[in-house]
A and B are shown apart, each in its own frame.
Chain A
Amino acid sequence: MGDKQTPRKLFDGFINAAVSIIDSPVTWFRERVVTPNRESYPWYHQKFRRVPTIDECYTDDVICFYEANSQFKRDKAVDSEILAILRIRMEDCNMFHGPDAVAKCKSLVETYKEAEGNWFCKYGDLGFHGNVKDAYMKQKHRMVWERRHGPVGSGMRDAAAAAGDE
C-alpha cells in the first residue's frame, strides 16, 4: 500500500515488526538448519480388507466372530471421527454466525442431526463391553419393534393393534 501514508501503514509495520521478533529466528532456524538436513520419507494410511459381517457367521464360528468384531470396532472408530468432523463444521458455523445461525446453518445442522441419530442407532447404548453381537441383536429388536409399532419415534401402539397388524 504505497499510497497510504496514513497511520494505518505505520500500524501494520509496527505489528509486523512486533511479530517478527519471535517469528524470524524461528523461521530462520527452520529454513536454514532443519529443512536442508531432512530427507522426506513416506507413511501410509492402512487399508483393511472387508471381512464377512456378523450376519454371515455361524453361531459356533469363533474366528468369524472375532474378525467381525474387529471390523465393527474399526468401523465404529471411523464413524466416530466422521461424526466429529460434521459436528466441528456445525459448531464453527453456529459460532461464526451467532444470532443468524438459526437461518444460515440449517443444512449443516440437519446433516449433523441425521448422522448423530444414525450413529446412535448403530453404536449407541451398547455399553463399554458392547460387541458386534449386541449391535446385531439391537438391530433385530429394533426391526421387530418397528414391525409392531411403526417407525421409531411414532410411539407404541397397544397390544391388540400391534398384534393385528403384524
Chain B
Amino acid sequence: MYYMKYYSHTYKFPAQQIRCGGGHHKEMFITPSRFQWNKCKDMVHYYVFLGVIPLSLITFFVNIYVGPATLTPIPENYKPKYWEYYRHPVTRFISRYIMPNPQMEYERHMNVLHEEEERRQLYLLEKKVKQLMAERSDYQAYYYSPNTAIKYYRKMKEVKKEENDRQGDNL
C-alpha cells in the first residue's frame, strides 16, 4: 500500500481484537490528509485540460488558418453587416453569434426612452391636475369633502373678487 511508507504503524482497535479472536483484524490506518494533493490534481486537470489546451489550440489554429481581416474601403451600394466592422475572427464570431446588433440596441433604447418620457408627461399632467384640485377645491374628486356650504363659498369668492377688482390693492 502506498501510504505505508508515510506511516509505519497502524492503530488497532482493542475491542475487535477480542471479538475476532485469531482471524484478520480490522485496522484503521492513520495517515496525513491527502486532501490538498487531490484537490491540486483536480485543479490542474480542470484548468489545463479544459482551459489551457483547448483555448491554445483554438487560438493557434484560428490565427494561422483564418487570420485577421484586411481593412478595405466600403464598396458602393453595400451595407456591411454589423460584425464586419471588427478585425479579429474571434471578435467577429462573438459579435455575430453572441452579442446583439448595436444598431438594434440603439433604436430599442430610444424606443424605451420615448415610452418612458410619455409616461412621465402623463404623470406630470396628473400631478398638476391634483395640485389644482387641491388649490381650488372645486372638483368632486381628490380632496373632496361633501361640504354643503360650497355654494356659499363660491358665491363669496365671486363677491370678494368683484370687490377686490373695484377697490384695487392700494387701500
**A and B from one assembly?**
yes
Interface residues of A (CB under 8 A from B): 33-34, 37-38, 40-47, 60, 62-63, 66-67, 70
In the assembled complex, the CB of B139 is this many whole angstroms from the nearest CB of chain A, namely: 27
- B69, A42: Cβ atoms closer than 8 Å: yes
In the assembled complex, the CB of B50 is this many whole angstroms from the nearest CB of chain A, namely: 27
- A43, B86: Cβ atoms closer than 8 Å: yes
- A40, B70: Cβ atoms closer than 8 Å: yes
Instruction: Knowing A34-B67, A63-B110, A66-B109 are in contact, say whether A47-B74 is a contact too (CB < 8 A).
Output: yes
Interface residues of B (CB under 8 A from A): 64-67, 69-74, 80, 84-87, 92, 106, 109-110, 113-114, 116-117, 121
- B65, A62: Cβ atoms closer than 8 Å: no
Q: How far, in whole Å, are A60 and B120 apart by their CA atoms in the complex?
A: 11
- A44, B72: Cβ atoms closer than 8 Å: yes
- B72, A66: Cβ atoms closer than 8 Å: no
Q: For residue A70, which residues in chain B have a CB less than 8 angstroms away from its CB?
A: 106
Q: For residue B67, which residues in chain A have a CB less than 8 angstroms away from its CB?
A: 34, 38, 40
Q: How far, in whole Å, are A68 and B28 apart by their CA atoms in the complex?
A: 77
In the assembled complex, the CB of B63 is this many whole angstroms from the nearest CB of chain A, namely: 8
- B64, A43: Cβ atoms closer than 8 Å: no
Q: How far, in whole Å, are A48 and B16 apart by their CA atoms in the complex?
A: 85
Q: How far, in whole Å, are A60 and B118 apart by their CA atoms in the complex?
A: 10
- B109, A43: Cβ atoms closer than 8 Å: no
Q: How far, in whole Å, are A42 and B85 apart by their CA atoms in the complex?
A: 9
Q: Contact partner of A63 among B65, B87, B114, CB < 8 A?
A: B114
Q: Contact partner of B113 among A45, A47, A63, CB < 8 A?
A: A63
Q: For residue B85, which residues in chain A have a CB less than 8 angstroms away from its CB?
A: 43-46
- B65, A42: Cβ atoms closer than 8 Å: no
Q: How far, in whole Å, are A67 and B109 apart by their CA atoms in the complex?
A: 11
A and B contact pairs by CB, cutoff 8 A, 26 listed = A34-B64, A37-B64, A37-B65, A38-B65, A41-B69, A41-B70, A42-B69, A43-B71, A43-B72, A43-B84, A43-B85, A43-B86, A43-B87, A43-B92, A44-B72, A44-B84, A44-B85, A45-B71, A45-B85, A46-B85, A47-B74, A60-B117, A62-B113, A62-B117, A63-B114, A66-B110
In the assembled complex, the CB of B158 is this many whole angstroms from the nearest CB of chain A, namely: 37
Nearest-CB residue, chain B, relative to A29: B64
In the assembled complex, the CB of A68 is this many whole angstroms from the nearest CB of chain B, namely: 12
